[in-house]
Amino acid sequence: MKITDAKVFVGGPKKNYVTLKIYTDQGIYGLGDATLNNRETLPASYLTDYLIPNLIGLDPRNSEDIWQLFYRGAYFRGGPIAMAAYGAIDMALWDIKGKIADLPLYQLFGGKSRDGAMVYAHATGADLEDLMDSVACYVEDGYKAVRVQCGIPGMPTAGYAVPETKGGMRNYITDYSGIRPSTEIWDSGKYMRYMPGALMEIREKFGPELKILHDVHHRLTPREAAEFAKSVEPADLYWLEDPTPAEDQDALKFIRRHSTVPIAIGEVFNTIWQCNKLIEQELVDFIRVAVTYAGGITHVKRIVDLAALHHVRTGFHGAPSHSPLCMAAQAHLNAWAPNFGVQEYLVLGTPECDALFPSEHLMTNGMFYVSDAPGLGVDFDEAEAERYSYEPGSHPIVRLEDGTLWNY
Ligand code: CS2
Ligand code: MG
């Protein structure tokens, strides 16, 4: 069996999905996701200019060797752009493998450990009252886990993942007004004084069963994060995410010494080498890599297996940062992984997105049920794809009130 061709598509409904399609001489094709938020053209050109010409003629069944060929063979290893490109290739090769075997991917991993995988939704509010309304809607829809983010009184701009106005929506992942980022102003002091009480009010209103998650989005220093983690303990969080910037891994030791709040990290990690210390030293409770930019199924499965040895559960980074192809790859891993925790899930199910990526995967009542179709179980409609093209966009940047650049 040989790879005969591969194509990259960039675009989608309100999102620049980077979709790879690998063709074989047996008529079977595989699909993969290389979406890297606001840098989408870069994995796309790495694929087209270098990786695809080197894929032609290879046997697609040798997914491990092909992974090693690109990762080791690059000499300059890793990084989000390259790993997203390898991730897409690897996902597509697993998709082909599943189609050859006529089995859904979770069967190739070891079968199902559960029927449905718990997902968490993103509740958001311009203020706490607005956030409570948003949480209530998700609870009514059957979600068992909800991430909560709200505006902070006195903060000059809306803040991470928070709308400007009550009941509003905001695309905080990509601002499509252009390539130049807008600026948010941040004040850690105001946040630290307000948020622990707000989390406690949410806990009191929704009772002990709701799993409440909160994302600090890398904005505190280690000392601040330790103080914050300690102060949110009464709210009994399911997890506290990215309390500090991910590069400084010793910060997690400091937080651990002061608090037992469960910590989730890893959405910006690309390799097992960025996770192994945190996992082996049991400094985190959930690992949040994404199958797309952590190098695909082959590499993420290694991370999941390592995590299982250390009581670390999965909490894969979720939509809409990635396409339904990545979500499907994660859904198959979620169905299998003995150490599954929760899956991030933002409503992707627009009719336009479903038309571009048809599938039988099912999200209902806060649970994701993986389909039994062979491979990833997601298709890609090329005629639909012609409706879309690349739209330049950017994340905001963050500055402190005196102008100092901070972490988005
Ligand atoms: C966020 C991300 O979902 C999350 O937990 O931290 O969505 C993040 O803001 C985006 O991926 C950035 O592109
Ligand atoms: Mg996050």
**The one catalytic residue among 29, 160, 345, 388:** 160
- Please, which residues bridge with residue 22 across strands? 6, 30
Give the residue carrying structure tokens 């649970």.
367
Nearest to 324 by CA among 12, 6, 7: 12
State the first-to-last Cα distance of the chain, in angstroms, to the nearest integer: 45
The predicted pLDDT at position 168 comes to 83
- Helix axis angle for 80-101 and 63-73, nearest 10°, is 170
Task: Report the C-alpha gap between 294 and 256 in whole angstroms.
Answer: 25
Q: Give the residue, by CA position, lying nearest to ligand 1 atom 10.
A: 173
Tracing tokens 């701009």 back to the chain, one arrives at 157
Ligand 2 ion: residues within 5 Å (CB): 215
Superfamily of domain 108-374: Enolase-like C-terminal domain (3.20.20.120)
Q: Which ligand is nearest to the CA of 160?
A: 1
Burial of 159 (0-12, 13-18, 19+ CB in 10 A): buried
The DSSP call for residue 126 is: S
Residue showing tokens 């690349």:
390
| 122 annotated active-site | no
Distances (CA, A) of 132 to 135, 154, 217: 5, 19, 21
Q: Which ligand is nearest to the CA of 241?
A: 2
Sign, CA torsion 146/149/150/152: positive
- 207 torsion bin: left (phi>0), alpha (psi -120 to 50), beta (else): left
Query: What ligand is nearest to the CA atom of residue 39?
Result: 1
The tokens 């600026």 sit on which residue? Answer: 183
> How many A from CA of 184 to the centre of ligand 2?
17
List the residue whose alpha carbon is closest to atom 4 of ligand 1.
Answer: 317
Which residue, judged by its Cα, is nearest atom 12 of ligand 1? 173
Pick the CATH number of 3-104 from 3.30.390.10, 3.10.580.10, 3.30.300.130, 1.10.10.60: 3.30.390.10
Instruction: Return the number of other C-beta atoms located less than 10 Å from residue 25's C-beta.
Output: 12
Per the annotation, the verdict on 17 as an active-site residue is no
Burial class (CB in 10 A: 0-12, 13-18, 19+), 165: exposed
Among 217, 299, 322, 332, the one annotated catalytic: 217
Mutate to test the pocket of ligand 1, among 36, 173, 240, 265 (most ligand atoms within 8 A of CB): 173
So what's the pLDDT on residue 243?
A: 98
- List C-alpha distances in Å: 111 to 63, 232, 306, 342, 362: 20, 38, 19, 18, 18
Measured in Å, residue 232 CA sits from the centre of ligand 2 at 18
Please state, in angstroms and rounded to a whole number, the distance separating the CA atoms of residues 312 and 332. Answer: 18
Q: What is the largest CA-CA distance in the chain?
A: 62
Distance 173 CA to ligand 1 centre (A): 7
Q: How many residues does the chain have?
A: 408
Question: Of all protein residues, whose CA lies closest to atom 8 belonging to ligand 1?
Answer: 173
What atom of ligand 1 comes closest to residue 395's alpha carbon?
A: 13
Using the atom order of ligand 1, give the atom closest to the CA of residue 346: 3
Residue with tokens 């006529």: 102
- Structure token digits, residue 1: 């069996």
Q: Compute the half-sphere exposure of residue 166: CA atoms within 13 Å on the CB side of its CA.
A: 6
Ligand 2 centre from 172 Cα, in Å?
12
| pLDDT means over runs of 10, the chain (408 residues) | 98 95 98 97 98 98 98 95 98 98 98 98 96 97 97 92 88 88 96 98 98 98 98 98 96 97 97 97 98 97 98 93 96 98 84 95 96 98 97 95 97
Looking at the CA of residue 160, tell me the nearest atom of ligand 1: 9
Looking from the CA of residue 344, the nearest atom of ligand 1 is 3
Per-residue pLDDT, 169 = 81
Give the pLDDT of residue 354: 93
pLDDT of res. 284: 98
Tell me which residue of 377, 344, 343, 381 sits closest to 361, measured CA to CA: 377
Q: Whose CA is nearest to atom 11 of ligand 1?
A: 321
| Ligand 1 mutation pick, 18, 267, 397, max ligand atoms within 8 A of CB | 267
Ligand 2 center to 21 CA (angstroms): 28
The Cβ of residue 2 has, within 10 Å, a number of other Cβ atoms equal to 13
Sole residue written with tokens 């806990």: 203
Beta partners for residue 340, in sequence order? 314
Ligand 2 centroid vs 384 CA: distance in angstroms? 30
Q: Give me the pLDDT at residue 347, please.
A: 66
Pocket test for ligand 1, best of 317, 330, 342 (most atoms within 8 A of CB): 317
Ligand 1 is surrounded, with C-beta below 6 A, by 37, 173, 215, 217, 267, 321, 344, 395
The structural domains of the chain, with segments of one domain joined by +, span 3-104, 108-374
